[in-house]
Structure 1
Amino acid sequence: MEYLDFFLKAFVAVFIIVDPPGNIPLYLSLTETATEEERQIISKKATLIAAILLLILTVTGNFILEIFKVTLDGLRIAGGILLFTISIDILLGERRKRKYVEESRESIDVDSLATFPIALPLYTGPGAITAAIVLYSTAEDLVLKILVLLSIIVTYLIVRITHVYSIKIVRVLGRSGSNIIARLMAIFLAAIAVEYFFTGLLGKLALL
């Protein structure tokens, strides 16, 4: 039961930050000038690159923290602030989405578009990286660490599925429905951010 609870916690955190349903309209906007065949190639490459990148950064997170002399509590505090900022951006504006769409329309290079901005930073951004490193670092045994990696894999499988059925999903939900889902996710993301921040702050205060 403990493992199941931890997996659900990890999966929900990663899923909310990556936000597969909320990013469907943006994915379609970024690939609107591509053919269906190009769109599928972009989707496969972007999903694979995003997943591999996040898995690598998750596993090597502790090593990276040691190099930069950053504590886990420090990462929690910084991550909490970052995730809260991202949640506010999702709730109150579309600036990030407009920026990505404008940049993508400058070129339809399949490889470049799959890498940026779809894989990075849309689906594997600073928020996902921070959350994954924190989750993996706090996992107390090998099974829990594997569950964190599994939650990442499952999330990106869902990303790929949303791409395959993106047009149908948008028809069912509508653009407003997708935006509503994205904003509901943002509320939960804000709550996760607050938990990260205060857990890290309490850890820092305990050392005083």
Structure 2
Amino acid sequence: MLASIGFETVLTSFLLALSGLFSIVNPVGSALMFAQITADRSQAERAELSRRIGFYAALVMLAALWAGAPILNFFGVSLAALRIAGGLFVAAFAWTLLNAPETREARKHAEAEPEAGENLAEVAFFPLTLPFTTGPGTIAVAIALGANRPSEPGDLAGFFIGASLAAMAIAGMIRLAYGSADRLVTLIGPVRARVLGRLSAFLLLCVGTQITVNGVSDVLGPLIASQRV
């Protein structure tokens, strides 16, 4: 099956989506904040929350990856324009993370603070999945990755298989990181988490730049080719 689709396409798409989504979601850094937000809950409740959040995060990322670009195309936004805009947004977001990560962390912490009396089912999706874990930035990255899909049928299938596997892998990381958040706090600490966040932000900046370059190539390629004729 993978041989007919193209294993290289699956692997390349998996690595690209994994690096982009990991950089924006940052499961380790988010787990440190998750431990603070849920400090008043029992270990069993935190484990249940981590399972629910991992499942909901997978649904959010897969929906944005598969349906985000077609929905925008329905409204007349071309694939090239979507790649350029999405790549620029991702790159700008990554630049912000590189320069002021503490500001973003404080905003996410405030957005995810649960109201008194809310039960697990209520807080697992909102606000702990949206917007805390997979917020607008993650959705924008997933849509931009989906817009970067190839046009050939065989490569297209390989792309979505690889990207979908990456989204599910990130969801699995979220579940594991959140489920062991207390141990991560002790093992990593806030300083190392910030270093990891900076490295992830730089990787995300590279991903956003690559997506933008692909979009610009889609626009300028036919124009350059027509001038040579």
With the length of structure 2 as denominator, give the TM-score of the two structures. Answer: 0.80
Partner of 2:227: none
Code of the aligned partner of 1:96: R
Contact 1:16 1:188 in 2 (8 A): yes
Q: Once the 2 structures are TM-superposed, how far is the Cα of residue 75 of structure 1 from its aligned partner?
A: 1.6
- Deviation of residue 207 (structure 1)? 5.5
| Distance (Å, rounded) in 1 between the aligned partners of 2:15 and 2:115 | 39
1:66 matched to 2:77? The reply is: no
Secondary structure in structure 2 of the residue aligned to 1:21: helix
Aligned to 2:133: 123
Q: How far 1:106 moved relative to its partner?
A: 5.3
**2:162 corresponds to which residue?**
147
Equivalent positions of 1:3-42 (< 5 A) are: 3-42=10-49
Q: Deviations over 1:141-166 (max 9, x none)?
A: 32331121111101110111111222
- 2:93 aligns with 86
SS in 1 for 2:39: coil
1:136-189 superposed Cα distances (whole Å, 9 cap, x missing partner): 441433233112111110111011111122211221111111111011100111
| Shift in Å, 1:51 | 0.9
Matched, 1:195 2:205: no
For the residues of structure 2 that align with 1:103 and 1:20, how far apart are their CA atoms?
Answer: 17
* Equivalences, count: 208
Q: What does residue 115 of structure 2 align with?
A: 107
User: If the length of structure 1 is used for normalisation, what is the TM-score?
Assistant: 0.87
SS of the residue corresponding to residue 141 of structure 1 reads: helix
Percent of matched pairs sharing the same residue: 28
Q: Cα RMSD between the aligned structures? A: 2.2
User: 1:22 & 1:53 partners in 2: Cα distance?
Assistant: 19
CA contact (8 A) 1:58 1:136 kept: yes
Q: Which runs of 5+ in 1 are unaligned?
A: none
- What amino acid maps onto 2:132 in structure 1? L
Cα contact 2:19–2:203 (8 A) shared by 1: no
Gap change, CA 1:14 and 1:105, over 3 Å in 2: closer
Flag the structure with larger Rg: 2
Q: Tell me, what secondary structure is at the counterpart of 2:139?
A: helix
Cα separation, partners in 2 of 1:6 and 1:60, compared to 1, 3 Å: closer
Q: Taking structure 1 as reference, are residues 199 and 131 closer, same or farther at Cα in structure 2, changes over 3 Å only?
A: same
- CA 1:20 to 1:141, structure 2 compared with 1: closer, same or farther past 3 Å? same
1:64 positional shift? 0.4
The offset of 1:206, in angstroms, is 3.8
Matched AA of 2:107: K
Identify unmatched segments of 5+ residues in structure 2. Answer: 1-6, 224-229
Name the CA distance, whole Å, in 2 between partners of 1:162 and 1:26.
Answer: 11
How far, CA to CA, are the matches of 1:76 and 1:91 in structure 2? 22
